[in-house]
Amino acid sequence: MNDASPDPMQAAHALAPELRARAEEIEAARRLPRDLSDRFAAAGFYRLLVPEAYGGLERPPREAMEIFEVLARADGASAWCAFIGATSGRVLASLPEATARAVFREPTTLVCGAVAPRGRALAAEGGVRVTGRWAWGSGIANADWVLAGCAPGEATDDAGTPPRPRLVLVPAAQVEILDTWHVSGLAGTGSTDFALEDVFVPASRIVDLGAKPVVERPLYAFPQLALLGLSLGAIALGLARAAIDELIALAGGKTPQGSTRPLAARAHTQSEVALAEAGVRAARAFYFEAIDAAWTEARTHGVIPVAHRRDLRLATTHAARASAAAVDRMYDVAGGSSVYLRSPLQRHFRDVHVLTQHMMVAPPTLELTGRLLLGLETDLSTL
């Protein structure tokens, strides 16, 4: 890293107080305000996973996830927008070099979108014509480029291999943004639906999901979906830490109705805080242990074996579920104080329970990893 490169971790800590103070504003806007998105870009959050050769920062996964965790302790929605920009930027490693450089002309470039294959890509001379509608377009209002997943066709290649789902990359100006993001939590992510109608995409901006990256560096041994999932775990851990911190701050000054002792002096409070702390720290240890082990494989061999990819997914889902359980404990212990909009606990509660609905940490991921642990034949396309 040269002297002109930003220090994203330092920037995350510096921005945290403002994000915490503006959390209600961000939620009310139902999107990340443009000024904050611009500062996220300047801080390097959106280029954390972009190849260094193209002007990105190409940081190890642990470092990126620790940054998202710090941001989530301040505001979950803001952290979500940061990780979407970062993980979407990873696609540049899979594009032809000339295309990647043309897309990433400025270090503040923001790529957003949705990888779920909800679009239809019909063959056209020099590329495809894409039509479809996608949900969870997080951060799209501030994007320069938009990723969209498309279902594979019926044909197979010369070896008889079924085609993979595709990602297409289009200028944000060609995307129709739909006002659908009216939700219980993570409202500030602006994860609204978007649509494309018969948009031409040249072959140079089409990527087969799961195909070998053009840039062969350790970071890009981590599949696109793996980095997406890992980021959810980091956000969940940050929300859980924020909830525990909030309850501890509240407990010393609150005396529950009908009691003469402060909340902190009650045995139930003490045991619930202890259980939440143990659950989060244990989940966090497994989560980063899995990341570190996979990173070692990527650096040593250039690939991540299935067993390590399994552990990444399992550790991520466990981090999300353990974090939600910890937030629930803190929300319950705080009693009536939790329900007021002025209490950060209610926002942490709503945010974490929207996060756990994401397909990358939903219950079927436990079935997927459980099958692998049991040695059963398993579809690895989403691992």
Residue-averaged pLDDT of the chain:
94
What lies within 8 Å, CB to CB, of 217 at 6+ separation is 51, 58, 93
Residues 97, 178: one domain? no
Residue 258: predicted pLDDT: 54
**Given a cut of 60, is residue 315 above it in pLDDT?**
yes
Residue numbers of the domain that contains 284 = 222-373
Q: Give the residue from 84, 103, 122 where a domain finishes.
A: 103
Specify the pLDDT at position 168.
Answer: 97
CATH number, position 93: 1.10.540.10
Between CA 20 and CA 41 the distance in angstroms is 19
What's the pLDDT score for residue 35? 98
Q: Which residue has the tokens 């291999």?
A: 161
* pLDDT exceeds cutoff 80 at 29: yes
Lowest mean pLDDT across 147-161, 229-243, 271-285, 350-364: 147-161
| CATH number, residue 282 | 1.20.140.10
- Whether residue 130 lies inside any domain: the answer is yes
* Residue ending a domain, choose from 75, 103, 131: 103
Q: Are residues 353 and 297 in the same domain?
A: yes
Report pLDDT digits (tens) over 214-262.
999 999 999 999 999 999 999 999 999 999 999 999 998 777 665 657 8
pLDDT surpassing 80 at residue 156: no
What is the mean predicted confidence (pLDDT) over 148-161?
Answer: 64
For residues 226 and 291, membership in a common domain is answered with yes
* Whole-number pLDDT of residue 161: 54
The per-residue pLDDT for 226 is 95
pLDDT band, very low/low/confident/very high, at 343 (cuts 50, 70, 90): very high
pLDDT at 4: 60
Q: Supply 49's token pair.
A: 């996973």
Same-domain pairing of 329 and 230: yes
Residues 190 and 153 in one domain: yes
Half-sphere exposure of 206 (CA within 13 A, CB side): 24
- Helix H or strand E encompassing 194: strand 192-202
In-domain check, residue 85:
yes
The upper half-sphere exposure of residue 342, i.e. CA atoms within 13 Å in the direction of its Cβ, equals 3
Structure confidence at residue 2 (pLDDT): 42
Non-local CB neighbours of 209 within 8 Å, separated by 6+ positions = 115, 117, 149, 164, 165, 166, 167, 224, 225
Instruction: Specify the range with the lowest mean pLDDT, choosing from 2-6, 163-167, 199-203, 341-345.
Output: 2-6
Residues 141 and 261 in one domain: no
Q: What is the pLDDT of residue 60?
A: 98
**Percent of the chain residues topping a pLDDT of 70:** 95
Q: Please, are residues 354 and 343 in contact by the beta-carbon 8 Å criterion?
A: no
Helix residue ranges per DSSP H, the chain: 8-21, 23-29, 34-43, 61-74, 76-89, 97-103, 224-251, 267-301, 306-333, 344-355, 364-373
Whether 92 and 155 map to the same domain: the answer is: no
d(CA 269, CA 275): 10
User: Does residue 216 form part of some domain?
Assistant: no
> In DSSP terms, which residues pair with 111 in a beta bridge?
145
Token pair in block for residue 197:
């109608």
The whole model's pTM is what?
A: 0.94
Asked whether residue 217 is assigned to any structural domain, the reply reads: no
Residue 113 has pLDDT above 80, yes or no: yes
| pLDDT the model gives residue 153 | 61
Between CA 70 and CA 87 the distance in angstroms is 17
User: Would you state the structure tokens that stand for residue 12, as one six-digit string?
Assistant: 């995350």
DSSP per residue, 285-334: HHHHHHHHHHHHHHHHHSS--HHHHHHHHHHHHHHHHHHHHHHHHHHHHT
**Nearest one of 103, 90, 101 to 172, comparing CA atoms:** 103
CATH at residue 198: 2.40.110.10
Are 161 and 243 part of one and the same domain?
Answer: no
pLDDT at 244: 98
Domain membership of residue 201 (yes or no) is yes
pLDDT-derived band of residue 154, with 50, 70 and 90 as boundaries?
A: very low
